[in-house]
Amino acid sequence: MSPLRAGALCSVPTPALAMMLLLTGLGVPPSQAQGAAEAAVQETVQETVQLDKVRLRGRGNNSRLELQFDGAVWGDASMPSQDRLQLDLVGVRSGENLKLPKLRDRSVREMRLGRTGEDTLRIEFLLARTVRHEWREKDGRSSFIVHLGDKAPVELRDIVIAVDAGHGGRDPGAINRRSKLYEKTVVLKIADELAKRIDKVKGLKAFRIRRGDESLHLSTRKVRARTAGADFFVSIHADAEESGRARGGSVFSLSSRGATNVAAGLLARRENQADDLLGDIPVKALDDDLVQVLTDLSVNAMQDRGAIAARMVLKHLRKVIRIHGSGTGQANFSVLRNHQIPSILVETGFISNQRDARNLNSWRMRQRIAQAVLDGIVDYFNRFPLPDTRFDQKQRYYKVRAGDTLSGIARREGVSVEALKAANNLKRDIIHKGQRLVIPK
Ligand SMILES: [Zn+2]
């Protein structure tokens, strides 16, 4: 057994070199020995598998050392001591120009390669702490992975947005008497449009609370959101007022401290009346005292988050529709109550106003409203990213300027045009000024 090369951060003896050293040791002249060794290697090169690359990949908890072989490899890892992981691989040699990555301040302090016999490659990892390791196979090639992070790498999950269309079924919500436009109808259309757009954003997934013209108790909406594992709750509504003069949208978040203004209080009372309207639908006692105590602890923090999310959505909504008053407020909405997740209620306009009603009845305006709500939600998750989601790592965006091309943006952002198109669900190369593009990682 030949000694291991200590601290082999450079290239490793190739089989040819190893054999040359062996032959010269037997008294064969060096030039001849080299030729013989090369010939021997030529013969065996078909049978041996080569360690092609050693790479440091991923970041943080996902960082790992990947050893890539050009064929299938069998070998068990052993730990001769607490701080040493060892692989003996028969029929494997290291590549001619193999480079080892620098491993400063990693859980693997050093990696060494050497030979323990004619055809056995020994790989040693000197450990600063215990690591997880595994073999992976793809297309007949093996790779050996040493996970360097503290935690096992996690699959990124989607952020679930519960999209609730207010009212429904026997509860029409607000009504425009002249045009017979029902709140329950237009808000379902906006909610569906929003859900569709959410699903197009990588890392987001929509969950529709109401899927048609169904009567849905407020507490059922909350239970559905909870069951779906929602991370965010948005309820879409349209306002109404007697005179027909009031116009504009607003975004509310929940407050247990009472409504921030009288109008918000009145609005909350009206939206909450859905409970009474659906009084004949049996309701299970969902929040017993214990659950109530537990949820209250987390609800307060989420109310603040809800208020921030409401402001972010309003910022985008403002570009699309007229805003009523200050545009945000907090009120004690039933539909938002008891959520342990940030929850907002969007009033998309006054259905009692003829101009607002026309807007709400327009397909184009509903699209723009849905997009504005989505933009606000995306802003929110960029600001408050959730762990183990795509928003965990800082998501970058680019706002398209006049004269921009997809290929130009891709070049500047250091990504491929294909990746840019995939991240933004673009079928064609056409982009327009002001469009927000997700920059893939
Ligand atoms: Zn409503």
CA of 236 to the centre of ligand 1 (A): 7
CA of 141 to the centre of ligand 1 (A): 59
CA of 335 to the centre of ligand 1 (A): 10
Q: Is 205 helix (H, G, I), strand (E, B) or coil?
A: strand
* 291 and 428 fall within a common domain: no
Distance, CA of 340 to CA of 335 (rounded, Å): 12
* 252 and 282 fall within a common domain: yes
Tally of structural domains, the chain: 3
* 179 and 327 fall within a common domain: yes
* 368 and 426 fall within a common domain: no
Task: With CA atoms as reference, report the closest residue to 110 among 65, 63, 62, 61.
Answer: 65
Instruction: CATH number of the domain at 423, please.
Output: 3.10.350.10
Specify the pLDDT at position 303: 62
Task: With CA atoms as reference, report the closest residue to 221 among 283, 277, 276.
Answer: 283
User: How confident is the model over 71-111, as pLDDT tens digits?
Assistant: 988 777 787 777 888 998 888 888 888 888 888 777 888 89
CA of 238 to the centre of ligand 1 (A): 5
* 246 and 142 fall within a common domain: no
* 260 and 332 fall within a common domain: yes
Specify if 8 maps to a domain.
no
Specify if 291 maps to a domain.
yes
**What is the mean pLDDT of the segment spanning 57-79?**
84
* 177 and 305 fall within a common domain: yes
Instruction: State residue 410 phi and psi, 5-degree precision.
Output: -60, -45
pLDDT band at 237 (very low <50, low <70, confident <90, very high): very high
Give the residue from 89, 112, 147 where a domain finishes: 147
CA of 413 to the centre of ligand 1 (A): 43
* 341 and 294 fall within a common domain: yes
CA of 232 to the centre of ligand 1 (A): 19
Give the residue from 122, 147, 172 where a domain finishes: 147
CA of 255 to the centre of ligand 1 (A): 17
Tokens of 331: 């009120």
Across 240-296, the runs of DSSP E, i.e. the strands, are 249-254
Q: CA 165 from chain center: how many Å?
A: 25
Tokens of 83: 């701080």
Q: Which domain does 422 fall in, by range?
A: 396-439
CA of 371 to the centre of ligand 1 (A): 20
CA of 220 to the centre of ligand 1 (A): 16
* 194 and 142 fall within a common domain: no
* 362 and 409 fall within a common domain: no
Instruction: CATH number of the domain at 180, please.
Output: 3.40.630.40
pTM here is 0.51
Specify if 5 maps to a domain.
no
Degrees to nearest 5, angle at CA 372 with 369 and 373: 90
Specify if 284 maps to a domain.
yes
Specify if 100 maps to a domain.
yes
**What is the mean pLDDT of the segment spanning 147-155?**
62
Specify if 7 maps to a domain.
no
Specify the pLDDT at position 68: 94
Q: Which of 137-146, 285-294, 341-350 has the lowest mean pLDDT?
A: 285-294
Q: Is 17 helix (H, G, I), strand (E, B) or coil?
A: helix
CA of 340 to the centre of ligand 1 (A): 22
Q: What is the DSSP string of 285-352?
A: ----HHHHHHHHHHHHHHHHHHHHHHHHHHHHHTTTS-EEEEEEEEE--GGGTT-SS-EEEEEEEETT
Instruction: CATH number of the domain at 50, please.
Output: 2.60.40.3500
Specify if 390 maps to a domain.
no
Give the residue from 95, 122, 147 where a domain finishes: 147
* 369 and 230 fall within a common domain: yes
* 317 and 433 fall within a common domain: no
